[in-house]
Chains A and B, each alone.
Chain A
Amino acid sequence: MDIPAMRASFARAGAHGDHVPLWFYSHLFLTHPDTRDMFPVSMAHQRDRLFAALGEVMARVDDLDALVPILQQLGRDHRKFGALAAHYPAVGGSLLATLEHFDEEWDSYVAASWAEAYGVIAEVMIGAADEAADQPPWWEAEVVAHDRRTIDVAVLHLRTTQPLPYLPGQAVSVESDLRPRLWRWYSPANAPRPDNGLELHVKARDGGPVSAALVRQVQVGQVLRLGPPVGHLALDTGSDRDLLLVAGGTGLAPMKALVDQVARQGPARRVDLFVGSRTEDGFYDRADLRRLEQEHPWFTVTCAVSHEKGSSVEHGDIGDVVLRHGPWNGRDAYVAGNPATVEDTVTRLHSAGLSMDRIRTEVFAASRPSPTVDGKVTE
């Protein structure tokens, strides 16, 4: 396997931009028409990602220790798309045909290197998929309640037919028959329950096909499909420090899951949750938070609005409000929300003396169809 030669070849082909993945998928669908059903109607986003992902894999191909776990995760995750071992040679064939088409200096030597490299990648992915065969490729989840809380936020209560193991704070991908083949990531707002119940907080993004359908169209009784969980915002079980949780928008969901985990599993500790919103209408889950506050003496909730004067709750950017209630230097901090909120809050907490290794974050933004090689699930 001549890695420098492969990288050079990949770079030459990559210079043709969007035409390369377009050609690749067209070739794949013509040679294996059955694979077309695994993709959404619009391939625009898919195309951007394929070569980005391939590029990331190529960049690490000489560091197999780092690459293998990533490929294993990808292999497990691809089961939900219906990917079978038989599809891997098909993809490999089209990949080589594509590189050959675009690389002016393609020869049998480079071809052999690519074939070998792809063989290794496919083997690792298939192996990981086979190892996960005791788990379903996806989990069916019935919508048992759909609660439209604001003009663009809904809280969905789901129940999976089989237990879906995940850590509180992780995200699962969601697909609906309303928008087939479009998978989006959502964090359950609870720790796993014996009744397999899941609570999802969904904000409809303007023009977002999946989120808008989940907020405005999904009916009780419909069945969604959930993919295996990913994500790193998990409670540090090695620590029993008190917690500071900061949530903006539907970043509340993973925070609520952490509260649920402390309530169910302990260890006992103080948990202070700060919820930020532009206006007071944005507190879509206030009643339930109040209930939790009453049930758990160790738990407090503080709401803050940034863009509404004369409201009854605190005023200011959430990061600012958090600091006003400090100091938090003895805490483990967890922050989830939109990129600006997370960055601002982390910067403030850090400058107030909280060390970075005590701050864990999850940025909530438009969902990626699949995680990056680093396990990132948002744009």
Chain B
Amino acid sequence: MTTSDSGRGYEAGPPTADDLRAVHFTPASMLHPGYTDREVDAFVARAADELARLTQENAQLRQHVSALEQQLDAVAARPSPSDQAVGILATAQLTADEYVAEAEDFSRQMTSEARAQYEEQLSAAREKAGAIIQAAQEAGASIAASAGRGSVGPAVPDTEQLQEQVAYLKAFGQACRTQLRSYLEALLSDVETEWGRAHPAALPPVPVGVRPQQLERGSGPATAMSFHGNAAVDGQHEDAAGATAAAVPATRVPS
């Protein structure tokens, strides 16, 4: 078998349209009419393969085309918006932009005013603090100066000396108070004894064993305990521990 131009009759691969038109098969022999069976069969098989391939490809292409057509329809179905529609959306957008700009502007104004106020107050406070410190320093200096004039020894006593003096004065004050209180108590007790004998009904009952002085001493921790929530209820609160705690139950009897 030969083809007119290429002689590819037996070759593998898809036959072309020209191959089909120009195909020549070798006559089988002088005795048997027709072509060589083997050549014909092989060629028909090749043609069948190619036809199958083309059919499949054709189907794929058709599918592809219809998909593209659908896309095209979808695009065509979404018409270019009219100028009017674009105009309306544009106006709406401008309105939105204006609102946002106004809000931002308002926020900017508020923030900068708040900051200005903050800075103003801060600097005023700083000035005030500065003035107070200065006044205190001046007062300190004048006190020191007058103290210096009044004293015979060193003009300005140092801090340690001052602290010692303060501690001494405090102790002295405490001692005076205790003394005075004892004296007053003794006086009261006298009065009570004397006048109580005369008019017992005129006197309020005084709890036995609780002397005013103890009440005074105990009032410290008792008051402190009232700040500790449940302390007053359970009376055993750990916070009330310490040297003064022992005095507490005794003083809390009336409550």
Contacts and interface: CB of A to CB of B under 8 A. Distances in A.
Interface of A: 19, 22-23, 25-27, 29-31, 41-44, 97, 101, 151-152, 204, 206-207, 209, 212
A152 B115 contact: yes
B101 to A, nearest CB: 6
B22 to A, nearest CB: 45
A307 B87 CA distance: 51
B101 A44 contact: yes
Contacts of A206: 107-109, 111-112, 115
Binding site secondary structure of chain A: helix
B81 A31 contact: yes
B236 to A, nearest CB: 42
Contacts of A42: 96-97, 100-101
Contacts of B83: 101
Contact of A207 (B81, B85, B104): B104
Contacts of A151: 115, 118
Interface string B135-166: 00000000000000000000000000000000
B90 A22 contact: yes
B97 A26 contact: no
B94 interface: yes
Interface residues on B, range: 20 to 34
Nearest to B82: A30
Ranked nearest first, the 9 interchain pairs of A and B with the lowest CB-CB distance are A207-B108, A42-B100, A30-B81, A26-B89, A206-B111, A44-B97, A26-B90, A206-B108, A26-B86
Given A31-B78, A42-B100, A43-B93, 10 more contacts: A19-B90, A22-B93, A27-B81, A29-B89, A42-B101, A44-B100, A206-B109, A207-B104, A207-B109, A207-B111
Contacts, number: 58
A101 B80 CA distance: 12
A353 to B, nearest CB: 38
A43 B93 CA distance: 7
Contact of B89 (A30, A152, A207): A30
B100 A23 contact: no
B107 A207 contact: yes
A212 B112 CA distance: 12
A152 B155 CA distance: 51
Contacts of A43: 93, 96-97
A26 B112 CA distance: 35
B239 interface: no
Contact of B107 (A26, A27, A212): A212
A154 to B, nearest CB: 15
B11 interface: no
Contact of B105 (A23, A29, A31, A207): A207
20 contacts: A19-B90, A22-B90, A25-B93, A26-B86, A26-B93, A29-B89, A41-B96, A41-B100, A42-B97, A42-B101, A44-B100, A152-B115, A206-B111, A206-B112, A206-B115, A207-B106, A207-B109, A207-B111, A209-B104, A212-B111
Contacts of B80: 31, 97
Nearest to A39: B93
A25 B89 CA distance: 9
Contacts of B90: 19, 22-23, 26
- Greatest chain B CB density within 10 A among A22, A23, A26, A31 is at A26
Interface centre among B86, B107, B108, B115 (most CB of A within 10 A): B86
